[in-house]
Amino acid sequence: MSGVVFHGGGIAAAAEAYGIEPGRWLDLSTGINPCPPDLPALDPSLWHRLPDSDLAAKARLAAQDFYRCGAVLPILAAGTQPLIRGLARLAAGPDARGQGARVAILSPTYGEYRAVFDAAGFVVDEIAELGDITVDHVAVVIVNPNNPTGRRFSRADLLALALQLSGRDAMLIVDEAFGDIEPTRSLAGAVDHHPHLVVLKSFGKFFGFAGLRLSAAISGEAYASLLEESLGPWPVSGPALAIAIDFYQADPMPVRDGIRSRYVAMRELIHRHGLKLAGDAELFLLIETPKAAALHDHLCRAAILTRRFDYRPDWLRLGQCAHSEDLARLDQALGEWSAQS
């Protein structure tokens, strides 16, 4: 279907296609932390009251400390999607220059960026290198580390680009949805010096609560107030704000250590089965094989869902296994694949 971007997490569709009950599946099709910390106890009033302004303000201050973004208060939203749409409208400007203006997206990457900027009337240039950016581009999108390749750009290169784009009032969007495992690489602390820089963060991927629908935009002064206004009142639910405060203020090292430990185990497993690792961002690993479609099908028949890509039929992305039992299950399925290949 035109305009539809397919993502991971389609257990219901896979269960129907393979005739296996949804509860039996091991979902490795996303890059979400599979071992979230325990949820805090919540005041029952959060469920039946509109979010108070003081709760939202406290959550933003907690996010400010967590993301180390200096004097900039993060803008919180119900997931990254409303932020991407708001940024596309802002990049178009008051004169609707999005109609025919050009935006550069470092590709291949998260498909919603192209879909949203296409819908906003931009001409989208999918580029491979920073050197492909031209003076015609009114906005540039970089996912760092990239999804699905895991490609990383240095802070120095991205800050130089931010300075260059700011000189001609062009927007730089750096999506760090998978970046909280390596906070020293983040551009969040540089936003107050770069008015046309916007850094996006995903609470759900790092903490493992994708269903909470919470993301943050750390936005330069050229866009902050307009982006916040575009979200309207109560952009995030009270329970989500309360949960965010709890985890933003907690020590993140146990979460990071768990992610790294599971990543090392997944990487060792993939190498042991002779599969080529094409990239990773710790929360996911990308395999490259000409038999990706067949391997995907084989794993599905074992009720293990991975992520395929229509634009690269030789790629297969795997998220993390939550427990040793899940890792053993994947190990067995890959062993059976190797035996019959």
pLDDT tens-digit readout, 223-270? 999 999 999 999 999 999 999 999 999 999 999 999 999 999 999 999
Residue 130 and residue 161 in contact, taking contact as beta carbons nearer than 8 Å: yes
Q: At what angle do helices 292-301 and 11-18 cross, to 10 degrees?
A: 80
- DSSP-derived letter for residue 213 is -
**Gyration radius from the chain CA atoms:** 20
Burial class (CB in 10 A: 0-12, 13-18, 19+), 47: exposed
| Average pLDDT along the chain | 94
| Residue (of 172, 267, 265, 187) closest to 222 by Cα position | 172
Whole-number Cα distances in Å, 135 to 38, 71, 96, 140, 171: 48, 30, 18, 11, 12
Instruction: List pLDDT tens digits, range 326-340.
Output: 999 999 999 999 998
Cis peptide bond N-terminal to 148, omega within 30: yes
Which architecture does CATH list for 11-30+253-340? Alpha-Beta Complex (3.90)
Q: CA 12, CA 21: separation in Å to the nearest integer?
A: 9
Share of the chain above pLDDT 90, in %: 93
pLDDT for 8: 60
Query: What percentage of the chain carries pLDDT values higher than 70?
Result: 96
| Predicted model pTM | 0.95
Distance CA 337, CA 339 (A): 5
State the DSSP string of 23-74. GG-EE-SS-S-SSPPPPPP--GGGGTSPPPHHHHHHHHHHHHHHHT-TTPPP
Q: What is the dihedral of CA 99, 104, 108, 113, to 10 degrees?
A: -50
Sequence spans of domains, the chain? 11-30+253-340, 54-249
Instruction: Confirm if 62 and 56 have CB atoms less than 8 A apart.
Output: no
For the chain, the residue count is 341
Residue 30 binned pLDDT confidence (cut-offs 50, 70, 90): very high
b/e per residue, 90-109, with b = 16+ CB within 10 A? Answer: bbbeeeeebeebbbbbbbbb
Please state which CATH number belongs to domain 54-249: 3.40.640.10
Q: Which amino acid is at 169?
A: D
Contact between 108 and 315 (Cβ < 8 Å): no
Query: Is residue 159 within 8 Å of residue 124, measured between CB atoms?
Result: no
| Contact indicator for 190, 159 with CB cutoff of 8 Å | yes
**pLDDT score of 66:** 98
Question: Is pLDDT larger for residue 285 or for residue 98?
Answer: 285
Instruction: Report whether 306 contacts 316 (CB < 8 A).
Output: yes
Contact between 105 and 125 under an 8 Å Cβ cutoff? The reply is yes
Mean pLDDT across 92-116:
85
Beta strands in 176-299 (DSSP E): 197-202, 215-219, 276-280, 284-288
Q: 159, 192, 163: which is closest to 174 by C-alpha?
A: 159
The tokens describing 208, both together, are: 């493992």
| Residue 248 token pair | 């933003």
The two counts, helices (H) then strands (E), for the chain are 11, 13
